[in-house]
Structure 1
Amino acid sequence: MLSVGQAINAIEYDPVWYYALRSRSPKILFDKWYRFERYAHSTNRVRIEEKSDCSAVFTRYGINGNEPSTPENLLICGLMIALLEAIGCQNLECYMQDNEGNWLKIREDLKFVLPEGTNASAFDIVDTGCWRISWQAFILYQTNSEDFQGEFNFELPPIRPPKNRGKVRKIVQYIANDISRVWKVEDVALEMGYSIRSLQRLLTTSNLNFSKLIRLVRIQSACKMLSREKNSLTAIAFCLGFSDSAHFSRDFKASMGLSPSAYRKSLCL
């Protein structure tokens, strides 16, 4: 079951996992995981306690009286490991606790191992609902999957003065590269070398504000994603950072004059 979780690297394009793999740090990945669980109304979830920049403890728990099963715990553990390694966590190791509270290593050198001195029944003596994952360093790695956003030519509103246009387009592309992230103005400013004040001033003088910019990227990204029949409306709404499908539909219709479903049908005419 741990190995099955590694299949994230082999599945064909799926928007949810594509954007998970676009995460620029483990913390951003964890934030997306929390959003995914809430969005999917998961009855079994993961509590993530970041111990340092290079380690975290994961605890599985149920809500409404549910109790996560061992196979499910192992599957989620394997999937989390695969995601962390895929985005750039180097020399990752994973541990689970035995009945006496000792941490037993189950992952090193890109493969799963049985704890020393145990056999195939090892997981009968460990708590599969709690794991510690650590890594030596994080080196950002962008997946070799098809670049879904690519150099998508976003249509910008009239921007004056013209010298701001290139700067705004660069910001738009940066946000679009990971639109599923819940962006804050301070995140964009820090990562693109602006102060918050200077970024807000750039947008204001360009007849924009931060929320308007995010909406522009979301709606134009939605138009592109709706052109793919495999993308469900729920998946698109999640990947674009909307709180729910209803919010996505309202924003899309307000901007485009059509519901997402009607827009998709119009592409086939």
Structure 2
Amino acid sequence: MSDFASAAMLRVLVQGMRELGLDPGDAPPGDGEARVQLGLKQGLVQRAVLQGGLACLPLLGRGLRRLAHEPTHQALVAAHSASDLLARWQRLERYVHSRHRCVVEHCDDTQACVRHVTVTGQGAPTAAEDFVVAGVLAALLESIGLRRVSLSFGEQGLFPASDPQGLAQAAAAGASALWQFHWQGRPARGSAPVPGPAAWAQGADPAWAEPVRRAYLHLAADLARPWGLPVLAGAMGLSTRSLQRQLAAQGLSYSRLLAEARCRVAAWRLLYTGDPVAEVGFLSGFSDQPHFTRELQKRVGMPPAAYRQAFAARPVPGR
């Protein structure tokens, strides 16, 4: 299994280093790709430690503030709750086939317990990587409007301020992978809407009955959300069984409607935005890049890049 990290994460770390007055060097920004080799991220983290010590690592996530325009960032911070945000992050980890994953052991309205693990059974995250990822999650919790966000492991605080000696002791003891988040308030809904997919409203089939059109538009407006039939029904104020009957009356199932939304929104992004092709798949809800390529090829007869090249409505701008 190859080892990968999120390209969006790499860009956050580069920006975070710059904001702390550190030099990221010539680290590639990962433009045009959804994932990069894990070694690139690890090298950047090592460079940060050499310049700013362990205490700078949890603060690198605040580089998010300058990247609010990025589609991946917007898909994450459209979360309806802390648990929704963590689920979106986990889907991003799966999408890029990261060997390091976050396991949510507990999450409620005011706190969460998260463990950072490896899914390969070898090469566990280093303490430095633990500190970086935990700091990024804390910054994301701030970004969805939660107040007084704090992060600790054991008795040691990581965020919004950290003790260099305490971090060094935790790193030496191998005690850096279990994090406790606390916060106040509720997400500020509407502060960071996901751009683009909602404009694909005309993609809803005019032959569908109104409840089915509404179901489609709920899905299409936020495909980064971990939807399920009960979640969709609840968002519409319907029972699961009622929505199933409405879909069946139109010859549809939930899975088919979700597939329609994913492909139509992906097509919209390919035609009308400059989002990198690899990122379009994540934003449109596909499990990974091969899944995206396979489904679009099945629907339109060509892979995503060829579809964009053949049919884009205007020149696609660079990032």
TM tier relative to shorter chain:
0.7 to 0.9
Distance 1:246 1:44 in 2: 20
CA distance in 2, matches of 1:47, 1:197: 31
Structure 1 residue 189 displacement after superposition: 0.6
1:193 to 233, 237, 242: 237
Q: What is the identity percentage for the equivalent residue pairs of Structure 1 and Structure 2?
A: 25
Bigger CA drift: 233-242 or 18-27?
233-242
The equivalent of 1:8 in structure 2 is 64
User: What is the aligned-residue RMSD (CA, Å)?
Assistant: 2.5
Distance between the aligned counterparts of 2:127 and 2:192, measured in 1?
32
The alignment partner of 2:275 has SS state of coil
Residue 231 of structure 2 corresponds to residue 210 of structure 1 = no
Amino acid paired to 2:212: V
Structure 1 pair 25–12 and aligned structure 2 pair: CA distance change class (3 A): closer
Quote the residue 2:129 is aligned against.
72
1:116-145 CA-to-partner distances (Å, cap 9, x unmatched) read xxxx43321234332200123323433446
Match of 1:60 among 116, 135, 138: 116
Write the letter of the residue equivalent to 1:261. A
Residue 237 of structure 1 and its aligned partner are, at CA, apart by: 1.9
Conserved in 1, the CA contact under 8 Å of 2:112 and 2:182? yes
1:5 Cα offset (Å) = 0.7
Unaligned runs of 5+ in 1: 98-102
From the two aligned structures, give the one with the greater helix fraction.
2
Q: Secondary structure at the match of 1:258?
A: coil
Distance 1:230 1:87 in 2: 25
Alignment of 1:27-176 (within 5 A): 27-62=83-118, 63-97=120-154, 103-107=155-159, 112-114=160-162, 120-126=164-170, 127-144=175-192, 147-159=195-207, 164-165=209-210, 167-176=211-220
State how far apart, in whole Å, the 1-side matches of 2:218 and 2:141 are: 21
**CA distance in 1: counterparts of 2:100 and 2:244, whole angstroms:** 40
Q: Secondary structure at the match of 1:61?
A: strand
Amino acid at match of 2:252: L
- Residue 227 of structure 1 aligns to a residue whose secondary structure is helix
Partner Cα separation in structure 1 for residue 193 and residue 128 of structure 2: 28
CA contact (8 A) 1:159 1:207 kept: no
Whether 2:281 is the aligned partner of 1:237: answer: yes
- Which amino acid in the other structure matches residue 186 of structure 1? P
**Could you list the per-position Cα deviations for residues 28-53 of structure 1 after superposition, in whole angstroms to 9, with x for gaps in the alignment?**
22222222222222233322211533
Q: Matched residues in 1 for 2:254 and 2:260: separation?
A: 10
Aligned length in residues = 252
Partner SS state of residue 113, structure 2: strand
Deviating more after overlay: 33-42 vs 190-199: 33-42
SS of equivalent residue, structure 1 residue 95:
strand
**Deviation at residue 230 of structure 1 after TM alignment:** 4.6
Counterpart CA distance in 1 for 2:293 and 2:183 is: 40
CA change 1:89–1:180 in 2 (3 A) is same
- Encode CA deviations 1:229-256: one digit per residue, 9 max, x unaligned: 7533332222222223222222212222
Aligned-pair CA distance for 1:80: 0.2
